[in-house]
Amino acid sequence: MIFSVHVEVRLRPGIADPQGSTVERALPTLGFDGVSGVRVGKSIRFTIEAPDEATAQAEVADLCQRFLTNPVIEDAAVEVQAGAPVGAAS
């Protein structure tokens, strides 16, 4: 079975994010007020083949832990959906 996966890699709470701070500091100059807590992460998308969703989830969790994130400073929010991604060529 094909599964579409979206992994959002985030800096763990408490880890400094100079990119986020820089973006946040620039916003008032651009006319955007009231924005705070800016954190910049990464979005990684892929498809994975697995016999069932539980296996797909487990493999993706392993992939995140071992490679897509550095657990010292990052964690991941994962979405796994059955089927090919919307808009992808069949």
Partner 1 sequence: MVEAVSLVGGQAEVLWHGDPTVKGVDVVVVPGGFAHGDYLRPGAIARFSPVMTAVTEMARSGGLLVGVCNGFQVLTEAGLLPGALQKNRGLKFLCATVGLRVERTDTALTRDVAVGTELQIPINHFEGNFTCNLETLAELRAEDRIVFRYVDNPNGSVDDIAGICSAEGNVVGLMPHPERASSALLGSEDGLPLLRSLVG
CA gap 37, 51 in Å, rounded: 40
Instruction: Identify which of residues 42 and 88 has a Cβ nearer to partner 1 in the complex.
Output: 42
The SS3 call for residue 28 is helix
The SS3 call for residue 19 is helix
Residue 65 Cβ, how far from partner 1 at the closest point, in Å?
12
56: exposed, middle or buried (C-beta count within 10 Å: 0-12, 13-18, 19+)? buried
Instruction: Identify which of residues 20 and 85 has a Cβ nearer to partner 1 in the complex.
Output: 20
Residue 53 Cβ, how far from partner 1 at the closest point, in Å?
26
- Interface residues with partner 1 (CB under 8 A) are 15-16, 18-19, 22, 67-68, 70, 72-73
Residue 9 Cβ, how far from partner 1 at the closest point, in Å?
9
CA gap 25, 23 in Å, rounded: 6
Instruction: Identify which of residues 18 and 51 has a Cβ nearer to partner 1 in the complex.
Output: 18
